[in-house]
Amino acid sequence: MEVTIMLYDGITALDAIGPYEVFAATQQCNVKFVAKKKGIIKLDSKMGYLHADYSFSEITSADILVVPGCSPPNYKDPMNDEGTLNWIRKMHNTSKWTTSVCNGSLILGAAGLLNDVEATSHWGSFDILQSLGAIPTEERVVRQGKIVTAAGISSGIDMALQLVAWEFGEDLSRGVQLILEYDPQPPFDTGSIKKAPAPLIENIKMLLQELSEKEPNM
């Protein structure tokens, strides 16, 4: 099974590496990191890099397309780049699954793939998601037809485990979970806006808002 993970400057590393690790552990997926231009890709933190082994022109189809997210407002660059959006549309035409992690769904939306589609995103990006025609849905993994969107950053792991179950069966997904020793034990229980205290949510909202009002500078 061919899995293509789209990279771009300013990306959030875990959005890409979470699903990558799940698909790699199946030993039945050929995972490719693909970007507009191959080579090293700057992370949103400006403290490291991922690496695109292929350029858009080299990869024109995949069974699974994954579009990861980024710190605001880095999604603006791919959302405003017709080359990127056209490549996504072309990949989507023949994909079995078109997926996103975090605010990667905004990029799918900009490509016109989410009109009247139930979808999720990072909890801080629901307004923009709605403005792109999607029906924002507060679930960790939202599947509608062949479009699967996941919530913020870490949720790509859960989404990929679901995709493995759907494509290869539940036994392989269970095995991958054991290989990754994915038995999460977060020290607190504040990972969603349904659980975190209101003042904490307000603080993070302000931080994300301040970030989103800046210009992308990757």
Q: Which of 116, 183, 213, 215 binds its own copies (CB under 8 A)?
A: 183
The continuous run of DSSP H or E covering 163 comes out as: helix 155-168
Interface with its own copies by CB under 8 A: which range of 80-88, 91-99, 129-137, 194-202? Answer: 194-202
Does 64 help bind its own copies (rule: CB under 8 A)?
no
Of 89 and 191, CB closest to its own copies: 191
Does 214 help bind its own copies (rule: CB under 8 A)?
no
Please list the residues that pair with 5 across neighbouring strands.
33, 66
Q: How far is the CB of 112 from its own copies (least distance, A)?
A: 25
Does 177 help bind its own copies (rule: CB under 8 A)?
yes
Q: How far is the CB of 31 from its own copies (least distance, A)?
A: 5
Does 106 help bind its own copies (rule: CB under 8 A)?
no
| Residue 96: partners with Cβ closer than 8 Å, 6 or more residues away | 63, 64, 146, 167
Q: How far is the CB of 142 from its own copies (least distance, A)?
A: 12
Distances (CA, A) of 183 to 174, 177, 186: 11, 8, 10
Q: How far is the CB of 174 from its own copies (least distance, A)?
A: 4
Query: Do β-strands 54-55 and 118-119 pair in parallel, antiparallel, or remain unpaired?
Result: unpaired
Q: How far is the CB of 82 from its own copies (least distance, A)?
A: 27
Using CB under 8 A, count the residues that bind its own copies.
64
Of 50 and 110, CB closest to its own copies: 50
- The Cα–Cα gap between 15 and 77 comes to 17
Catalytic one of 11, 41, 62, 102: 102
Closest CA to 168 of 47, 48, 1: 1
Does 198 help bind its own copies (rule: CB under 8 A)?
no
**Is 29 known to be catalytic?**
no
Closest CA to 67 of 16, 3, 143: 16
Reading phi first (left if > 0) and then psi (alpha if -120 to 50, else beta), residue 102 is in left
- The Cα–Cα gap between 75 and 9 comes to 9
23: tokens are 């698909």
Which residues bind to its own copies, rule: CB under 8 A?
12-14, 17-18, 20-21, 24, 30-33, 40, 43, 45, 47-51, 53, 102, 122-123, 140-141, 151-155, 157-158, 161-162, 165, 170-171, 173-175, 177-188, 190-193, 195-197, 200-201, 203-204
